[in-house]
Structure 1
Amino acid sequence: MDGAQQDRTAGTAGAAPAGPPQRFRAVSGPARAAALLIPAATVANALITVSDWRDYLVVHAYRAGTATVADLRAADTFGLWVSISQVVLYCAAGAVFLVWLWRARCNAERYGARTAQRRARGWVIGGWFAPVANLWLPYQVVTDMWRACAPRRPAPRGPIAVWWALFVADTLLSRSMGHYYLAKKITESGLRDAAALSTVCAALDLAAAVLIVVILTRITAWQNRWRWQGKG
């Protein structure tokens, strides 16, 4: 849905109207913060996987008579603290990333017609929270920024497509894990299946994190280069 047909229809309701040039918005600081917090959140997600496997192994050992109630409680405590850390880091990483995304999008409008951006500025943030539409709107926003800022024409969009595919797959699989933990009766096999699914999600999350850090770093470098050359 992001090919030539969409490019021809880009300038209507979804695109931002033309306006006077905007000042350049600093992106280096938010980019550096995001490049630190996104991997940190990924590590926290990996620890969630460790916690999931620990829960399964402790329950398995308890049923076999080789673990105690204290071991079960210790596993629960570990999982609680890891979950709190994950939520805090994901919120921090998400907030910093959205700050970077907003500034980078505003800058991207300086390097070409604002109608080259298929979505109005409000979708830069709102697209992540719109039900169903959040499966493609953020991808369009980042793709349009990439095309506007890349020094090569046409700009290869492979990294963004792979990142978004990984991100969506991770998101959908993570949501599907809920039924294991919301089940009326949590079973040993259910814990094992949840841990296995958590492992897949952690791998997808790691790959997506690496790619988005590469993407935001490149866009930031391109925009700063334009600024240093006096073109922004």
Structure 2
Amino acid sequence: MTAVKVEIYSDIACPWCYLGKARFERALSAFPQGGAVEVVYRPFQLDPHAPHEPLPHREVLDAKYGPQSAAMDERLAQLGAAEGLTFAFDSVLENNSLLAHRLLRFALDEYGAPAQRRLKGELMAGHFTAGMDIGDPEQLADAAAAAGLDRAAVAAFLAGDALTDEVVAEIAHAREIGITAVPTFVFEGQWAVQGGQETSTFLRVLEQVAKETAADDSAALDASGADGCADGACVVE
């Protein structure tokens, strides 16, 4: 099988992105040619204007969605539990995610896609399970060290403003190419699958991409019929 590149547009603050990540990685593990798949995370911000300060998740969500916010969280907690994830919404802190996205780009540039993928897991688990503040440089550096990055190098990077323009440009580009909700999975720059699809759907897509790339065929992928597709993504307000 020819190597396949998957670009995942995602926001650390998006619970469906965390769920989708777990389901996609489960599919990747079950895919016989999984070792030939390169996974790269691309930045996206659901709320680029979010304040640069930690705020309780419940407070933020209640302000956006009102009384239904508790039911939304409960559903995600149940879906997450089925994937082995813990959504501890009572302790989640919301913050502007730009600094964390800059760190993910740094990890990709300096350490490569596998390290970026490990870091993404650390950040999302920290955010949704451990009450981590994704806008705090010290906590970000700790997460990076847990993912195998050099903590001192990360701390030095976070102390400056390197890669800010590049990440902002990437986020703008995502919107320019029509991405309005996350997670969005783009296969080989040609086929896009949106939402935290079921593992079986991701596996079917991987199999179809392998066939299409082998045949050098640009036919559109069919990711319809999956439960949760309609509401399986966080949409820009």
Please say whether Structure 1 and Structure 2 have the same fold, judged by a TM-score greater than 0.5: no
- Greater share of strand residues, 1 or 2? 2
- Greater share of helix residues, 1 or 2? 1
TM-score range, shorter chain: under 0.3
Q: Structure 2 length as normaliser, TM-score? A: 0.25
CA radius of gyration, larger in = 1
